[in-house]
Structure 1
């Protein structure tokens, strides 16, 4: 395992700045440690010899204060860098998920991603505050202090050079085992989060089937497994700490014994012997602390590995290809203007194939409603998923002459899926979805979606709780109509918008869509209702023999 993952420096600029600052503080700390040992030696030997030591004692106090200030500055810089790095990695993670698209996200557990971006990256505090400063000190302070020891007393320096490598060797051996158990603990935590989220989401169904107690026992079993994994990690941490302390203590003891015998033999002066003895623990301290503090930071390291996997997947994604689903790869493209070469905003689908479903070809033109119909499982929603970037496909799909795989869906679509996807907040906020709600336009969109019976100011709970199924579906349709009204050039795509509506309300919705199409809108409608045929200009039948 690498002491520092290079991808941390690649994806988080705050980490690069912290390393520079930590190196500068490490250089100052090294100078302070050596000076402190020298002036303390001078004060002690001077007191024994009867020399004035007031100046040396004053320097000892000043240097002790300076060292404390440097440690505090290192801690403050580390916490600030941890916060900024966590924010940068979260932002990069969100951008990467956007670039990978909804098709990639649909195959992942969102609870696991949430735990990684939340608790996991919060664990970077220990990584930056404890592990990295000691790692920098190991690189900066240890070689300098050992060199000073060698300069003053080469036998002591030689002993340090021989014994120092033993600590990293044992640290690596213990670290490999710790990494395995730490990774297992992190994966157990992710499973626990995913199981808990799935249980809460499906609790009503579980209770109806009498399986709620069983689900609770499964969560309890996973939680108990996480407890055992955590205790295993702690045992390895204590073992590692004991091993590091024992090895460094034995190394310092070897130096101390050798210095003691040479002092008795008169081969070494008291000043040099005491100075070397004061430096010896400082030479081993950073190396020892790197091994100890690694365990405190291991959870953050495991989380960053998961984040880096997502970031690497987004970075290795081809520059052009189907199912981008993220930001537009045509930065100069504007949904309001379209590319200069476009003659009309037609949606042209040619030999589009998803998985093993038959290829589909159709054209959705402005001023018309294109109806996609067919039995369940024939691939109606899969076509919409491909156009929105939620499914991989072969073939071609262009809008205004531009391959939609190179566009963000938000550039050219106004879409409402089978699941309304409502969030906590007011109905108006759900309709505007991230934009500042325009009250008049919101009411107009709700009325057009036959949802004029709901109050735009009504507060919804988590996942839009507070509305009936039919009301939630109509609010989702209103959202698509609201977005389409902001730019009528967008293709209005509705996937089974009337599945939860009665016949009268459905007829009103069909009239709204027909009016939109007559006004020049391009409407792509997926429905299994026979009544949808009455408003369709073009019908694409799936699962029907030619």
Structure 2
């Protein structure tokens, strides 16, 4: 925590430079409205002096009254404008910060994001950024006001009464001194509170996402009790922070009131002894509370700085080792509508915190069906992520028809890929909307062919509104097998795709449906390169070649029938599945 605070403070300063001009404009408006405040105090002191000492009738003082009203209106406009400038600038900075965090998440790649807890990521992106923004919108303008307003007022107080000016200058440092003394304890409490907020947010979102599983296991009440305990800890830490904030505010108010009281007593005696003009004394008395006001307000805003430091340090540690995307720098276009040949040469991939997932992988994937098999955790899904361009290898190369994947334009490359993941994602919307994500301009004939070939037409026949049936988020309303058919129909709609990447496309289908899908894939493989991740080895038997992946390396490859009788790794997997 000792070197986290300086890093967080430096980061906040760097971010503040991005909105330097609006903050400087806000500070300039603060200085201008302070001058108007001085003029207001002088006019009011003049009115009181004329009314009480010279017995002037109040209607006769209408120029001063008008001046007061005009100055009050101008001050209100300047204060509102200054606050608006700071608020708008902080909101723009918040949008920019979220965009940069999203780009950082993209740089992590899909494997990197899988290593992050989803609830933790959401909490940091939402609550973390929200805790930083008040620092720019309120604390920095408050700090500027505390730095500008007292010196400006002192310039006008000293000519009117140097004794009061000296008192103000001697008592003013007591307020920031106390703020520094209580600052360390308050910041530690705020950091604990924010860490607890992260844990609570992550636990709540994870529990909400797995509510069905929790209910099925009878663990929902137990998790609810854990969430209640986490919430109670957060409440306790919040009250601890508030106690420190209220205590500091009380002491700051005490020092300010003591300073004002001393000035008032001295002015009272000096007026009694005729050592000070009445108008000058009233003028100084009116300015004394305003002298302490910005420092008192800054003390009340210290919680914004503490929260910002806690959140900033957390955001800095969100992705300590970003993983580069494999987006090409030269943006070369891949070859045309020809089934590509992929050569993977000495590929290494390491995920921070989890070690190596691929270690010296070598393989060739050409036209036809290549089945990739192996135990769970061998690196099959990681290889798909690398081929899709969701992450870049640590070392080694992936060549597409002789061209390095890193040199290809990522959008053009992905346009040639049809991907069917093991758990296809479905967005809230109609069945038609979800299908046309793959090809927005698909012709009706192409759509009909995709529906028939994937077997989705039988599913549509049972739906009340066919293609216009509304689907819930994540495919609510469809079974696992029906979701898989939807993903296959998407793949078929990508007619330009010459590389198909399938992650067990028949996992949720019955035997007859699985055979029909296998037949469809076999027909498509006549003009495409198909990489089929097969968790069920029956699907690998009809492939043109099998790659056996173990601990991140290809340990065996060849024709499935020959491998099945060779007594090697593939034969061992078959025997284990049959037992």
Instruction: Give the TM-score, by structure 2 length.
Output: 0.81
**1:451 Cα offset (Å):** 2.6
Select 1:173's aligned residue among 181, 200, 205.
181
What per-residue deviation string (whole Å, max 9, x for no partner) do you get for residues 352-373 of structure 1?
Answer: 23416553211223x3332212
Contact 1:428 / 1:437 at 8 angstroms: preserved in 2?
A: no
Compared CA separation, residues 391 and 460, structure 1 to 2 (3 A): farther
Spell out, residue by residue over 1:71-110, the C-alpha distance to the aligned partner (whole angstroms, 9 max, x if none).
Answer: 3323433443343333222222212211222222112122
Q: Say whether residues 1:417 and 2:421 are aligned partners.
A: yes
Note the 1:447-458 alignment, pairs <5 A: 447-455=452-460, 456-458=467-469
Cα deviation 1:268-327 (Å, max 9, x = unaligned): 3233332222222212211110110232565466445444544x85xx85xxxxx5347x
**From 31, 35, 42, the counterpart of 1:38:** 42
1:320 is aligned to none
Aligned runs of 1:288-307 on 2, under 5 Å? Answer: 288-295=296-303, 298-299=306-307, 302-307=310-315
Name the residue aligned to 1:383: 383
Provide the rounded CA distance (Å) in 2 between the counterparts of 1:462 and 1:302. Answer: 34
Residue pairs, 1:26-425, within 5 angstroms: 26-50=30-54, 53-123=61-131, 126-127=134-135, 129-295=137-303, 298-299=306-307, 302-310=310-318, 313=320, 317=322, 323-325=323-325, 328-330=327-329, 332-334=331-333, 345-354=340-349, 355=356, 358-365=359-366, 367-388=367-388, 389=390, 393-399=394-400, 401=402, 403-404=404-405, 411-413=412-414, 414=417, 415-425=419-429
Question: Using the alignment, how far apart are the partners of 1:122 and 1:527 within structure 2?
Answer: 44
Q: CA deviation at 1:126?
A: 4.5
Aligned residue number for residue 560 of structure 2: none
* Offset, 1:199: 1.9
Question: Hey, what's the Cα distance between the residues in 2 that align with 1:435 and 1:40?
Answer: 73
Structure 1 residue runs without a partner (length 5+): 318-322
Q: What secondary structure, in the 3-state scheme, does the structure 2 residue paired with 1:525 have?
A: strand
Change (3 A) 1:361 1:390: same
Q: Deviations over 1:364-407 (max 9, x none)?
A: 23x33322123444332232244343586543223355544577
Question: Alignment partner for residue 475 of structure 2, among 457, 464, 470?
Answer: 464
Give how far 1:218 is off: 0.8
Equivalent pair of 1:348/1:362 in contact (CA under 8 Å): yes
Change (3 A) 1:152 1:324: same
TM-superposed deviation, 1:26: 1.0
TM-score by length of 1: 0.85
CA 1:275–1:500 in structure 2 vs 1: closer, same or farther (change >3 Å)? Answer: same
Structure 2 counterpart of 1:15: 19
Contact 2:332 / 2:407 at 8 angstroms: preserved in 1?
no
RMSD: 3.4
Alpha-carbon offset, residue 245 of structure 1: 0.9
Q: d(CA) in 2 for partners of 1:395 and 1:296?
A: 48
**Structure 1 residues 411 and 144, CA gap change in structure 2 (3 angstroms):** farther
Change (3 A) 1:154 1:378: same
1:329 Cα shift? Answer: 4.5
Preserved CA contact (<8 Å) 1:372 1:542: yes
For the 8 Å contact 1:14–1:84, the answer to whether it is kept is no
C-alpha contact (below 8 Å) 2:328/2:405 kept by paired residues:
no
In 2, distance between residues paired with 1:450 and 1:11? Answer: 54
Provide the rounded CA distance (Å) in 2 between the counterparts of 1:451 and 1:2. 58
Could you give the per-residue CA deviations for residues 437-470 of structure 1, whole angstroms, max 9, x where no partner exists? 7473555444443333333333222322211111
Q: Is the 8 A contact 1:324 1:406 kept in 2?
A: no
SS at match of 1:370: strand
Report the CA distance between 1:68 and its aligned residue.
1.9
Flag the structure with larger Rg.
2
Contact kept in structure 2, 1:9 and 1:15, CA below 8 Å: no
2:437 and 2:154 mapped to 1: Cα distance? 62
Is 1:488 aligned to 2:492, yes or no?
no
CA distance in 2, matches of 1:140, 1:3: 27
Where does the alignment leave 5 or more consecutive residues of structure 2 unmatched? 350-355, 461-466, 556-567, 570-579
Equivalent pair of 2:369/2:545 in contact (CA under 8 Å): yes
**Whole-Å separation in 2 of the counterparts to 1:159 and 1:439:** 84
Residues 375, 49 of structure 1: alpha-carbon distance in 2 compared, 3 angstrom cutoff: closer
Q: Are residues 228 and 206 of structure 1, via their aligned partners in 2, closer, same or farther at CA, if it must alter by over 3 Å?
A: same
Alpha carbons of structure 1 residues 504 and 344: separation in structure 2 relative to 1, 3 Å: closer
What secondary structure, in the 3-state scheme, does the structure 1 residue paired with 2:468 have? coil
Q: Deviations over 1:139-159 (max 9, x none)?
A: 322222223323443333333
Give 1:242 deviation, angstroms.
0.6
| Stretch deviating more after TM superposition (287-296 or 368-377) | 368-377
Cα distance in 2 for residues equivalent to 1:25 and 1:102 = 47
